[in-house]
């Protein structure tokens, strides 16, 4: 009798899993094209329409409580990861920071007030987010940031400058790091806030890249205001929040679900050129028969398989995924440049929008910088995975005010 009951229970579980998998396939294969084709008002509108439908289908918030429209079943999340590989529309990159980085940190560390205000609209794509970390004098040494936040009654007043802020021009809110105690040690006087972007104290200026695009921005903040309760975590405990968010960013960089799509030509610094497109390029240039070219292509195909292996295993340190993906991106772009030589070095920025390979050749080096440079990733792995000693530096209990500035 026990064996029969167990078999019935297993059959019911398999049926449930099969039904969920069919729901995922229906949404991705049938609903997604309809949503994108029926929304013709621009990329942002298409992205918001798709994410709203994704949320309403119960597919946008794995790992979140049902209170916020989430699904905490790990098996459902696994099925989604398997079925969505290569099928996420490129428009959803708009929510990479909000959904992939800001929402998980708010879920894990913010007050109920902040969770109730931001999780559901953030996950549904009603609000777009950016991340305000780096400063002109605090990039790799992020804890050296000097943007200040001071409490004034029921509001925090923020003044400072941020740089390399992706997507700020489209964002309503930002995850902001600011210093709230200059007399505390370097890593201890930082607080994480939710900053409303649409206010007079926030001046956004685009930075034109050599690709001709302006993905990044510099932001001047002059007495911008934040409600007192819009703190993520505790005051002066922002460094711990910052590290948590960076881990999510590295996971996102190393595990992007657009990797396997060989048909989309994504102009995203986080998506290496798929190997199938490089094989087609080698055919087009008449070089597919060369032994060295075939060996390089085999290496690139193997690299994609390694990325897929990392993506399916949550136990892999995020720095490994981030390092491997940037390596793959550079190798793929370098191969494309050799196939297109001698024309590739002569391309001008005005031509970049016309050619997909141009973009990746010019943009691939930036993959080594976002989310922490390759050198930082190696240091992180050395210290946290291999147990090697930290690099020498000022005593960690020295007040920030007493430290030399860059």
> Any bridge partners for residue 155, and if so which?
152, 227
Tens of pLDDT along 330-370? 999 999 988 887 666 555 555 544 477 888 888 888 778 77
Q: What is the pLDDT of residues 136-176, one digit of tens each?
A: 988 888 889 999 999 999 999 999 999 999 999 999 999 99
Instruction: Check which CATH number belongs to the domain holding 22 and give it.
Output: 1.10.540.10
Res. 260: pLDDT tops 50: no
Phi-psi category of residue 153: left, alpha or beta, with phi > 0 → left and psi -120 to 50 → alpha: left
Flag whether 386 is in a domain: no
Residue 40 lies in a domain: yes
Of 124, 149, 166, the residue at which a domain comes to its end is: 124
Greater model confidence, 344 or 187: 187
- What does the mean pLDDT of the chain come to? 85
H runs (alpha helix) in 138-290: 238-254, 275-284
Better-predicted residue by pLDDT, 404 or 250:
404
Nearest to 51 by CA among 107, 105, 97, 93: 93
Q: Please state, in angstroms and rounded to a whole number, the distance separating the CA atoms of residues 7 and 90.
A: 42
DSSP H or E stretch at residue 225: strand 216-227
Alpha carbons 276 and 162: distance in angstroms, whole number: 39
Contact predicate 178/193, CB 8 Å = yes
Query: Has residue 46 got a pLDDT over 50?
Result: yes
The per-residue pLDDT for 9 is: 45
- Please indicate, yes or no, whether residues 202 and 141 belong to a single structural domain of this protein: yes
Does the pLDDT at position 16 exceed 50?
yes
Nearest to 390 by CA among 404, 405, 376: 376
Q: Note whether 120 and 134 are same-domain residues.
A: no
Q: Based on the structure, what is the number of domains in the chain? A: 3
Residues 9, 111: one domain? yes
Residue 272 confidence class, pLDDT cut points 50, 70, 90:
confident
Q: For residue 42, which phi and psi values (nearest 5 degrees)?
A: 120, 165
| Dihedral sign for Cα atoms in the order 134, 136, 142, 143 | negative
* Structure tokens belonging to residue 97: 């920071």
Q: What is the CATH number of the domain that holds 158?
A: 2.40.110.10
Indicate whether 205 and 260 sit together in one domain. no
H or E element, residue 297 = helix 291-311
- Whether residue 395 is contained in a domain is answered as no
For 44, 113, 118, 130, 404, the CA distances from 172, given in Å and listed in that order, are: 13, 18, 11, 8, 35
Same domain assignment for residues 135 and 118 = no
Q: In the chain, what's the furthest Cα-to-Cα distance? A: 76
Residue numbers of the domain that contains 117: 2-124
pLDDT of residue 8: 32
Claim to verify: residue 230 and residue 260 sit in the same structural domain = no
């Amino acid at each position: 009798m026990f064996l029969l009951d167990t078999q019935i229970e297993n059959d019911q579980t398999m049926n449930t899993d099969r039904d969920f998998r069919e729901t995922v396939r229906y949404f991705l294969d049938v609903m997604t094209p309809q949503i994108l084709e029926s929304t013709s008002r621009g990329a942002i509108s298409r992205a918001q329409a798709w994410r709203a439908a994704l949320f309403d289908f119960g597919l946008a918030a794995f790992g979140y409580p049902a209170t916020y429209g989430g699904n905490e079943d790990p098996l459902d999340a696994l099925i989604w990861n398997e079925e969505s590989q290569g099928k996420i529309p490129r428009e959803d990159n708009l929510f990479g920071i909000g959904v992939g980085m800001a929402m998980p940190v708010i879920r894990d560390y913010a007050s109920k007030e902040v969770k109730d205000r931001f999780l559901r609209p953030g996950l549904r794509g009603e609000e777009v987010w950016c991340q305000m970390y780096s400063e002109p004098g605090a990039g790799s040494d992020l804890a050296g940031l000097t943007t200040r936040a001071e409490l004034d009654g029921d509001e925090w007043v923020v003044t400072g400058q941020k740089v390399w802020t992706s997507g700020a021009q489209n964002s309503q809110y930002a995850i902001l790091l600011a210093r709230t105690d200059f007399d505390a040690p370097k890593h201890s006087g930082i607080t994480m806030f939710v900053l409303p972007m649409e206010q007079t104290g926030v001046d956004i200026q685009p930075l034109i890249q050599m690709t001709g695009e302006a993905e990044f921005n510099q932001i001047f903040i002059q007495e911008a205001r934040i409600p007192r309760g819009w703190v993520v975590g505790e005051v002066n405990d922002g460094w711990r929040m910052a590290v948590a968010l960076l881990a999510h960013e590295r996971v996102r960089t190393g595990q992007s679900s657009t990797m396997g799509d060989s048909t989309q030509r994504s102009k995203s610094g986080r998506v290496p050129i798929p190997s199938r497109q490089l094989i087609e390029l080698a055919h087009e240039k008449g070089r597919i028969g060369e032994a060295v070219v075939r060996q390089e292509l085999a290496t690139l195909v193997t690299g994609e398989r390694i990325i897929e292996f990392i993506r399916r295993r949550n136990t892999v340190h995020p720095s490994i995924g981030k390092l491997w993906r940037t390596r793959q991106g550079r190798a793929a772009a370098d191969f494309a440049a050799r196939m297109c030589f001698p024309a590739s070095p002569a391309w001008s920025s005005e031509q970049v929008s016309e050619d997909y390979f141009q973009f990746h050749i010019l943009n691939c080096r930036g993959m080594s910088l976002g989310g922490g440079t390759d050198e930082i990733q190696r240091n992180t792995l050395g210290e946290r995975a291999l147990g090697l000693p930290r690099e020498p530096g000022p005593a960690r209990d020295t007040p920030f005010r007493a430290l030399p500035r860059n």
